Structure formats: structure tokens, C-alpha cells
Amino acid sequence: MQYEKLPDGTQIPVLGLGTWQMGGGSSADYSRDDEMVGIIEQAVDMGYTHLDTAEVYGKNHCEELVGRAMKAFNRGDLFITTKVSPDHATYDGVHNAIQGSLKRLDTDYVDLYLIHWPSKDIPQSETFRAMNELVADGRVRRVGVSNYNVEQMQEAIDLCDTAIATNQVRYNLLDRKVVQNGVLGFCREQSIPLTAYSPVKGGVLEHAAVQVMARARGVSPAQIAIRWLIQQPGVITIPMSQDLKHLRDNIAALSFELSPEEMERLDNAGIGD
């Protein structure tokens, strides 16, 4: 595995396993539990030690599946990220939410705890009062945010007693909003890694530039899409797959490099092509 440095001097794996849709989407799906746990275990065996989940995934059930899969490994070898939903962003809400997440994950701490979306109603100062306590008492190793704009990130930086570890946002070859709105540039200025979600979604794999380069390099379109992200300074990503072949395919993006010319060609491809 390769790592990106976090502002606190520790490291985060550049490739993690997304888990949205494992154990259900907006409601729980218990029908494929053993299969999903097996897939997560095999993914960890392949090298996906960074698992990204959230309390809302499968209405809590995804965390239970991640927790079951974690039992096959040493806790210290895993990097577990979960997220508190904006509905729970009050002081008491955050405290209750982490208790629930830790119980479902069956662990004493999470490596990274993200505010899933900025709350429209609850001031960040209240949310961070609780987040700071969770870091102080060791239940949370690092705090981060998700779907934040630059202004919201700056406020989070000011309120957080420890370094904000990441902003998890949608970023892929066909979705460059974080470039246009300055979030990627701001993260780089602050030495905060940006976690790109949905790296292969939304027509990325069918894009002509990706297909042509994949054929020329003898790799898959997904490897091109993922490699383009993780080769950028300060960018990590968390593709989700429930298919072992795709999981192997995606992690192989760590094993080759795009030339500066290829990176530039992909930089210039994208929206509107």
C-alpha cells in the first residue's frame, strides 16, 4: 500500500474500500450479509486496509458488516473511517452517534471520524465541541469533514483542536467541481489530503480518453481513472466494489505510473468531452 501524509504527521492509505450499498442503501438489506462480510475480508487480504463506512449506510447495517469483517484482522492493521450524519450534529447527537458506531463496528476507536455533510441548522461550534472531546478521550483518532466548501473547511479548521485530516468529496475525471470551487487548491495549501469519492462512477469508465489510454497501456479503464486521482499530490480515493475481480483490478492501480504527458491528457479530458 502507498500512503499520503496527514497534517498530524501520521499516514492514510491512498486507496481505501468504499462500502456504500454494502448492507443496503438508504435502508438495511440483510439478504447478502455473509457474502458482503466475505468480500470485505478478501478485500483486506488484497491490501485494502482502509475501510470507509458511515452510520447512514444501510441505516447502520453497513457498519455492522464492517465490524464483522474486522474480526478476522488485527485492529491495529486497519484504518477505519466512519461518519456522523448531519442529523446527529448536536453535542449530544455526536456523542450518541459515536457510541452507536463503535458498538456496531465492535471496536474501541475509529481512525477517522468525518462529519458526513455540513449541517444547515446546527452550528459547527457545537458539533466540534463534541468532536474535540472524542479525540481527547481516544474514541476518535482523527477528525475530518465531508462535502465541505472552502468557507466551511476554514471554520472547521478554526474550531477543531486537532488537525482536520481530510475533506471527503466527489471528485473524478468527469466531476471537477472541487477544482472549480477551490476546495482541492485549499486542501493542498493546508496540506490536508482530499479523499475522492465516486472515482469510477458517472460514465468515467466509458469516457473515450480513458478507454483509449487503457487500451494503449494494457490496463483497465478503472485503473486509469483511479491512477489519475492517486497520482495527484494530496489526493486519495475509496472505490467501492462488491466484485472480487474489480477489487483486484482497482488495487492494481498502485502498480503502475502514468507519464506526465498522460496525466496532462487526462487533466485536459473530462467535462464536456
Which helix (H) or strand (E) segment holds residue 170: the answer is strand 164-170
Site mask for ligand NAP (CB under 6 A), range 71-100, x = bound:
------------------------------
DSSP 54-105: -TTTTTTHHHHHHHHHHTTS-GGG-EEEEEE-GGG-SHHHHHHHHHHHHHHH
* Catalytic residue selected from 48, 57, 113, 148: 57
Nearer to ligand NAP, 52 or 262 (CB): 52
When asked if residue 20 is in the footprint of ligand NAP (CB under 6 A), the reply is yes
Binding mask 151-180 for ligand NAP (x = CB under 6 A): -----------------x------------
* Residue 59 beta carbon to ligand NAP: minimum distance, rounded to whole angstroms: 15
Work out whether the CA dihedral 202, 208, 214, 217 comes out positive or negative.
Answer: negative
Residue nearest to ligand NAP (CB): 18
For ligand NAP, which stretch binds (CB under 6 A), given 28-36, 63-71, 92-100, 236-244? 236-244
How many CA atoms within 13 Å lie on the side-chain side of 130? 21
What are the grid coordinates assigned to 45, written together? 487480504
57 is catalytic: yes
Give yes or no for residue 242 binding ligand NAP (CB under 6 A): yes
φ, ψ at 203 (rounded to 5°): 85, 5
Single residue of 6, 12, 19, 124 touching ligand NAP by CB under 6 A: 19
In the chain, where does DSSP find H-type helix? Answer: 33-46, 61-70, 91-105, 124-136, 150-159, 177-180, 183-189, 208-217, 221-230, 244-251, 260-268
> Using CB under 6 A as the criterion, which residues of the chain lie in contact with ligand NAP when the complex forms?
18-20, 52, 116, 146-147, 168, 197-201, 205, 220, 222, 238-243, 246, 249-250
